[in-house]
Amino acid sequence: MADRDVAGAEAAARFMIGELYGYTLSSQDTAAWQAMSYEGCVFCQGVIDDVAADQQANQVLRSGRITVVDATTERLNPQAYAVTLRISQEPSQVWNVQGTPVAGPDEGYEGYVHLVMYQEGQNWYLREAETLERLAAS
């Protein structure tokens, strides 16, 4: 992630979705997620809001393991990169604080996450993201 180029943007995106996303939802610790979220990122705020809603309901989402299958990265400008990750996520399940499942498990997810990674100084930030079931035809 230290690289200030296509490789750095891809590494930051892989970390954000492949590691930090599931950790944030399962641990309900949003500090690292917030630190890598660019101000105004709707997707980023949605994750934070989901954690807050789970906390309010006294439940936690145990996010299924996310595997990044493939990635493509394109430079948009000197500081921004579009990264498309093809991911596979194992089923997730919602549990209450007593350790009883209250929803799920879901079917997991196979699809794409399209992200805009933005570099400011030495740091990478997620500027925006969206999930896609499939890519649009070229």
Structure confidence by residue, pLDDT tens digits, 105-119: 889 899 999 999 999
pLDDT band of residue 89 (cuts 50, 70, 90) is very high
End-to-end CA distance of the chain: 29
Stated pTM of the model: 0.90
**Mean pLDDT on 55-75:** 95
pLDDT higher than threshold 70 for residue 2: no
Alpha-helical regions (H) of 38-117: 42-56
pLDDT higher than threshold 70 for residue 54: yes
Q: How do the domains of the chain map onto residue ranges?
A: 6-132
Q: Which of 33, 94, 110, 35 is nearest to 61 (CA)?
A: 94
Cα separation values, 77 from 7, 24, 84, 93, Å? 15, 29, 16, 39
Under CATH, what is the fold of the domain 6-132? Nuclear Transport Factor 2; Chain: A, (3.10.450)
pLDDT higher than threshold 50 for residue 138: no
